[in-house]
Amino acid sequence: MRTISLVDGPVELRGALDLERTPAGVMPRRLPAWTTEQYQDPAVHGVTMMPSGVRLVFRTDACALELEVLTSTGQLDSDEEPRPTGLVELRVDGVLAGRVQAPVGNVLRMAGPGAEQRLIPGEPGVVRFTGLRPGMKDVELWLPQQTPTELVALRADGEVRAPLPDGRRRWVHHGSSISHCVEADGPTGTWPAVAAALGGVEVINLSLAGNALLDPYVARTIRDLPADLISLKVGINIVGLAAFRLRTFGPAVHGFLDTIREGHPDTPLLLMSPVSCPALEESPGPAGPGPDGRIVALGEPDDVAGGALTLAVVRGELERIAVARGARDPHLHHLDGRELLGPDEADDLTDGLHPNATAYRRMGKRFAARAFADDGPFGRTIDHVRG
């Protein structure tokens, strides 16, 4: 086995915008390093290190590969085992060829959600894929979407070359946990990954669980990225955290769009509203877990008249903004999120908010059928896929 350099070598790390040096190796992050000084909440830093959509890309004639990683997962003191680390998935020539559980490394113990964490240091572990077909092939190693994963070493029993130029269009997507897709059955099972594969595009998933809040540093990041297609899924975190009132929400959406348009004046841009979430449709946030663990609205319904936001209000405002701006921006499009997952599918919400793995795959198929169709906002011909 030969050790292959993970930095300044033949391997491309796609889906990550920063590599943070660590004692073990390098940690991929999904926002640029300069953004770290613009937020104080450590939860933001944590979700940028969850590598949803991050993959190692290269060509090789190897028949066996080893990826050494150091994961960091959580564990409640009341639980016997740490949270699942997720899967590392192998694609060969665009086809899923293997799935291996990521090893448990560091464990962050806590008394309960939101409590102070205690680090239990762990050791790196190795993920192995063997029996690859002989000859040169295109390889992608997708990291688990829900678990910060430090890259320690890549080893191969053959030659490793840089990937060929990727002629696919680049799609940059930003959303909440419902686009981050912690609950997906693997990194290629997130709905953006499913949609990208069907649409024949390369996806950069900048979705940040719990943190899709129209932050200006995210808009500037998207503005400065090369992108052929852009989509924004806006609303669920804003309602769930009661982060805006009606007075401030519209201007914040306009400002986010204005910033992106500074770098991408003519790029197709799809503005998406939230999927269904029964608890927050007509009742305002903030949201929290009820006695059975399912999401409930904690705001006062009477406050909607004073500017509190519900999902229904957010959807109406996003559609109004898209229509108003569309008069001068023909490349701005709108999609009601309920077309991806509607009110009759509430049983597929694991906690009343987050879709299950099957629903995520269905959402990806539905997005592809709508966005990449001939007359869709991303204008790409694909076979129609029924959700």
- The single residue listed with the structure tokens 């943070």 is 20
* Count of residues in the chain: 387
Please compute the mean of the pLDDT values over residues 95-115 and round it to a whole number. Answer: 91
What is the CATH T-level fold of the domain 170-371, as seen in this structure? Rossmann fold (3.40.50)
Residue 197, C-beta contacts closer than 8 angstroms, at least 6 positions apart? 94, 188
Mean pLDDT estimate for the chain: 95
* Interaxial angle between packed helices 191-199 and 357-371, expressed in degrees from 0 to 180 and rounded to the nearest 10: 40
Percent of the chain with pLDDT over 90: 93
Please compute the mean of the pLDDT values over residues 176-197 and round it to a whole number. Answer: 98
Percent of the chain with pLDDT over 70: 98
Q: Is 290 exposed, middle or buried (0-12, 13-18, 19+ CB in 10 A)?
A: middle
Evaluate if residue 386 carries a pLDDT over 70: no
- Output the DSSP codes for 218-249: HHHHHHHS--SEEEEE-SHHHHHTT---HHHH
Please compute the mean of the pLDDT values over residues 190-204 and round it to a whole number. Answer: 97
Q: Where exactly are the structural domains of the chain? A: 2-161, 170-371
Evaluate if residue 149 carries a pLDDT over 90: yes
Residues 238 and 86: their CA atoms lie apart, in Å, by: 28
Quickly state the pLDDT bin for 20 (edges 50, 70, 90): very high
- Domain pair 2-161 / 170-371, same fold: no
Q: What does the pLDDT look like over 320-356, one tens digit per residue?
A: 999 999 999 999 999 999 999 999 999 999 999 999 9
Please compute the mean of the pLDDT values over residues 21-48 and round it to a whole number. Answer: 94
Quickly state the pLDDT bin for 212 (edges 50, 70, 90): very high
For the chain, percent helix, then strand, then coil, each to nearest 5?
Answer: 30, 25, 45
CB atoms within 10 A of CB 367: 30
Evaluate if residue 70 carries a pLDDT over 60: yes
Please compute the mean of the pLDDT values over residues 267-291 and round it to a whole number. Answer: 97
Would you state the pLDDT for residue 380?
A: 56
Q: Is 205 exposed, middle or buried (0-12, 13-18, 19+ CB in 10 A)?
A: buried
What is the CATH T-level fold of the domain 2-161, as seen in this structure? Jelly Rolls (2.60.120)
Would you state the pLDDT for residue 252?
A: 98
Residues 281 and 313: their CA atoms lie apart, in Å, by: 8
Cβ(149)–Cβ(102) under 8 Å? Answer: yes
Please compute the mean of the pLDDT values over residues 75-81 and round it to a whole number. Answer: 89
What is the pairing mode between strands 160-161 and 26-29? unpaired
Cα atoms in the Cβ-side hemisphere of radius 13 Å centred on 70: 17
**The token pair that represents 269 in the structure block:** 């841009």
Output the CA torsion sign for 31, 35, 36, 42: negative
Residues 204 and 245: their CA atoms lie apart, in Å, by: 30
- The single residue listed with the structure tokens 């190693």 is 141
Would you state the pLDDT for residue 115?
A: 77
Quickly state the pLDDT bin for 381 (edges 50, 70, 90): very low
Would you state the pLDDT for residue 383?
A: 39
Evaluate if residue 385 carries a pLDDT over 80: no
- The single residue listed with the structure tokens 């998933």 is 205
Q: How far from chain centre, in Å, is Cα 295?
A: 21
Cβ(215)–Cβ(36) under 8 Å? Answer: no
Evaluate if residue 382 carries a pLDDT over 90: no
Give me the residues paired with residue 18 across strands: 29
Q: Which of 361, 367, 360, 378 is nearest to 336 (CA)?
A: 367
Quickly state the pLDDT bin for 113 (edges 50, 70, 90): confident
Q: What does the pLDDT look like over 292-314, one tens digit per residue?
A: 999 999 999 999 999 999 999 99
Please compute the mean of the pLDDT values over residues 222-249 and round it to a whole number. Answer: 98
Q: Is 280 exposed, middle or buried (0-12, 13-18, 19+ CB in 10 A)?
A: buried
Quickly state the pLDDT bin for 40 (edges 50, 70, 90): confident
CB atoms within 10 A of CB 6: 20
Please compute the mean of the pLDDT values over residues 132-149 and round it to a whole number. Answer: 98
Please compute the mean of the pLDDT values over residues 227-247 and round it to a whole number. Answer: 98
DSSP letter for 133, please.
Answer: P
Evaluate if residue 78 carries a pLDDT over 90: no
